[in-house]
Amino acid sequence: MDIKTLTFLIVGASFVLYIAIAIWARAGSTKEFYVAGGGVHPIANGMATAADWMSAASFISMAGLISFMGYDGAVYLLGWTGGYVLLALCLAPYLRKFGKFTVPDFIGDRYYSQTARTVAVLCAIFVCFTYVAGQMRGVGVVFSRFLEVDITSGVLIGMGIVFFYTVLGGMKGITYTQVAQYCVLMFAYLVPAVFISIMVTGHLLPQTGFGATLADGSGVYLLDKLDGLSRELGFHEYTSGSKSTLDVFCITAALMVGTAGLPHVIVRFFTVPKVRDARKSAGWALLFIAVVYTTAPSIASFARVNMIETINGPTIDAQAATGTAYSEAPSWITNWEKTGLISWDDKNQDGKMFYSGDERNEMKVDRDIMVLANPEIADLPAWVIALVAAGGVAAALSTSAGLLLVISTSVSHDLLKRNLMPNIKDKAELFYARLAAAVAICVAGWFGINPPGFVAQVVAFAFGLAASSFFPAIIMGIFYKRMNSQGAIAGMLAGIGFTTAYIVYFKFVEPAANISENWWFGISPEGIGALGMLVNFAVAFIVFKFTADAPKEIQQLVEDIRYPQGAGEAQDH
């Protein structure tokens, strides 16, 4: 069977599975729609959290970033992993004890202010829309290649699937769908990695193959070969960094604290019965995440070597490399050319492709294709290629569903039920939640068709926005009982305002100025969320110094959640 047929079969079978689960787990109440009824087993919740966490950025784009950036790309791996640990240890048990459905719910009640709640809702919607743009783009990239449709059509297909099981099942449907999606994406990520590790290094485990010698008998280590290729071809050395230490620190910090402020991950800890189960599910999720994350550097390195050798020929001497005749180009190049994500410009009119990091370069390769194209580059069986397509779709759809649910609950529960329409009935609230999800999917689809950057970059912006808005308000809300509503509101507005302005200026207003010489303190737009977080803290404490402490009853509430004892069942009032 050819790749297209197999892709239709495997991706189609996964869609049937997701839809069947959504029908089986249809939500019948707001509690089931928001937190899956609060009865999910810790292991299942760990899988669902891992799938929610490992978005298209993790599955599709992270290894591509590392493949192109080398050592510099490790900041994404470190930031996202460290951020989950921070969330699991410092925030999740306390928020679970507080017993509310959403982050805006926590902020509204902790800071005893409807204004704070409304600001948090707006921040949540803004962050989630930025994040989901990357996910829908990832769906479009997968479908554009493997279903041989354009990216717009691919995004529309993804919108239809997400619409069905998000609007129908809510958190209950999403939870069990994400368990299935984790199994699909993990299998799809590991199978080609194992195949290629054996082919390139002779090691069964990709994690050990990453640091091993090549299987050709040369005795050359994989990373040494990559360093040599990079030097010869005009790229910076693979195992050395080109970013400033401060920028690396800020990007890592923004991703870490942004993780801890992501509302779609936090809400997962309300779906288990007890606080103890929240801690257990956090541990299981970290284990499930590690399976994929420890494999990413290996995939990045294998794909980089194979891609360069496929285009330039199997030689480390770039001067001797003559390139590959375009008429004899491997099928993966011509297949991906149809999507517009690879292009060739024959500068010297010799009819041969050449890939380098200097003026000799004739190839434009989008980094978002590296994981998806990796099995084709390595000439693996067609079923493996189709499996990777199913994994990429699963990763993008799982996170998209979680994000869209946060947007839905922010509008129906926090904005309407807790603010504008306090007497709304349960059935009407559920209707508005589904309506909000439907509208959110349409907006997300538009962003997927017109993205502001490549997948992981867009997601990095979302983490920066979460870092500069939610994280300080949550951390002060838990660990500084005197912090008042005025300080929290001012901090959130200042933090997200500063971060948004910086990103918009360098990415949209003056994109030509987006070079390190023009950045504040050498901090890139991907890392500015760390500085925005400091702005948030500073403004919050300045305003706090000129206003009264939080009321005594609020300070007592904070004391209570600091010691997470008991079940802390989520409340909708």
Q: What does the buried/exposed string (b/e) look like for 434-465 if buried means 16 or more CB atoms within 10 Å of the residue's CB?
A: bebbeebbebbbebbbebbbbbbbbbbbbbbb
Q: Out of 73-82, 158-167, 265-274, 418-427, give the one with best mean pLDDT.
A: 73-82
Q: How confident is the model at residue 105 (pLDDT cuts 50, 70, 90)?
A: confident
* Domain final position from 339, 366, 393: 366
Same domain, 281 and 322: no
Same domain, 414 and 331: no
pLDDT given for residue 326 in this prediction: 84
User: Can you read off the two tokens belonging to residue 162?
Assistant: 């997400």
Q: Is the pLDDT of residue 571 over 60?
A: no
For 434-452, what is each residue's pLDDT tens digit?
788 788 788 878 877 776 5
For 401-432, what is each residue's pLDDT tens digit?
777 777 777 777 777 777 777 778 877 877 88
Average pLDDT of the residues of the chain: 80
Q: Is the pLDDT of residue 481 over 80?
A: yes
SS in 3 state form for 426-482? HHHHHHHHHHHHHHHHHHHHHHHHCCCCCHHHHHHHHHHHHHHHHHHHHHHHHHCCC
Residue 10 three-state SS = helix
Same domain, 71 and 13: yes
Q: Is the pLDDT of residue 218 over 60?
A: yes
Residue 566 inside a domain? The answer is: no
| Kind and range of the H or E run holding 344 | strand 342-344
CB 174 within 8 A of CB 165: yes
Q: From CA 136, how far away is CA 444, in angstroms rounded?
A: 7
Q: Comparing 4 with 30, which gets the higher pLDDT? A: 4
**Which residues does 177 contact at the CB level (< 8 Å), separation at least 6?**
18, 21, 22, 25, 165, 169, 398, 401
Same domain, 218 and 198: yes
Q: What does the buried/exposed string (b/e) look like for 68-106 if buried means 16 or more CB atoms within 10 Å of the residue's CB?
A: bbbbbbbbbbebbbbbbebbbeebbbbbbbbbbbbbbbb
Same domain, 324 and 393: no
pLDDT given for residue 459 in this prediction: 66
Same domain, 343 and 266: no
SS in 3 state form for 372-428? HHHHHHCCCCHHHHHHHHHHHHHHHHHHHHHHHHHHHHHHHHHHHHHHHCCCCCHHH
Domain count, the chain: 2
- In terms of residue numbers, what domain contains 349? 310-366
End-to-end CA distance of the chain: 55
Q: Comparing 25 with 89, which gets the higher pLDDT? A: 89
Q: Which residues pair with 353 in a beta bridge?
A: 324
Q: How confident is the model at residue 568 (pLDDT cuts 50, 70, 90)?
A: very low
Crossing angle (nearest 10°) for helices 275-293 and 74-86: 170
Mean pLDDT of 494-512: 86
| Kind and range of the H or E run holding 364 | strand 363-365
For 106-159, what is each residue's pLDDT tens digit?
888 899 888 888 888 888 787 777 777 767 777 777 777 666 777 778 788 877
- The one-character DSSP state at 324 is E
Q: Rounded to 5 degrees, what are φ and ψ at 363?
A: -115, 135
State the residue for tokens 């292009």: 343
Q: Rounded to 5 degrees, what are φ and ψ at 100?
A: -115, 165
- The one-character DSSP state at 86 is H
Q: From CA 448, how far away is CA 416, in angstroms rounded?
A: 28
Q: Comparing 51 with 170, which gets the higher pLDDT? A: 51
CA nearest to 368, candidates 459, 283, 476? 459
Q: Is the pLDDT of residue 288 over 70?
A: yes
Q: Is the pLDDT of residue 268 over 80?
A: no
Same domain, 80 and 175: yes
| Region class of 149: left (phi > 0), else alpha (psi between -120 and 50), else beta | beta
CB 262 within 8 A of CB 466: yes
For 297-315, what is each residue's pLDDT tens digit?
999 999 898 888 888 876 5
* Domain final position from 319, 337, 366: 366
pLDDT given for residue 540 in this prediction: 96
Please report, rounded to a whole number, the percentage of residues in the chain having pLDDT higher than 70.
86
| Kind and range of the H or E run holding 352 | strand 352-353
| Region class of 148: left (phi > 0), else alpha (psi between -120 and 50), else beta | left
Same domain, 276 and 391: yes
Residue 212 three-state SS = coil
pLDDT given for residue 4 in this prediction: 73
Q: Give the HSE-up count for residue 162: Cα atoms under 13 Å, Cβ half-sphere.
A: 32
Same domain, 158 and 243: yes
Residue 165 inside a domain? The answer is: yes
For 385-396, what is each residue's pLDDT tens digit?
888 878 877 777
Residue 174 inside a domain? The answer is: yes
Q: How confident is the model at residue 573 (pLDDT cuts 50, 70, 90)?
A: very low
Q: Comparing 97 with 473, which gets the higher pLDDT? A: 473
Q: Is 521 exposed, middle or buried (0-12, 13-18, 19+ CB in 10 A)?
A: exposed
For 244-263, what is each residue's pLDDT tens digit?
889 889 988 888 888 766 66
Residue 568 inside a domain? The answer is: no
Residue 402 inside a domain? The answer is: yes
Concatenate the DSSP letters of all residues of 270-289 into one string. Answer: GSSSSHHHHHHHHHHHHHHH
* Domain final position from 341, 366, 391: 366
Mean pLDDT of 190-218: 90
Same domain, 316 and 441: no
Residue 568 three-state SS = coil
Tally of CB atoms within 10 A around 244: 16
Same domain, 530 and 432: yes
Q: Which residues pair with 213 in a beta bridge?
A: 221
Residue 151 inside a domain? The answer is: yes
pLDDT given for residue 567 in this prediction: 44
- Provide the sign of the torsion angle of the four alpha carbons 37, 41, 46, 47, taken in this order: negative
pLDDT given for residue 543 in this prediction: 96
pLDDT given for residue 154 in this prediction: 78
The domain spanning residue 224 has which CATH number?
1.20.1730.10
Q: Is the pLDDT of residue 560 over 70?
A: yes
- Provide the sign of the torsion angle of the four alpha carbons 39, 42, 46, 47, taken in this order: negative
Residue 91 inside a domain? The answer is: yes
Same domain, 325 and 298: no
pLDDT given for residue 492 in this prediction: 93
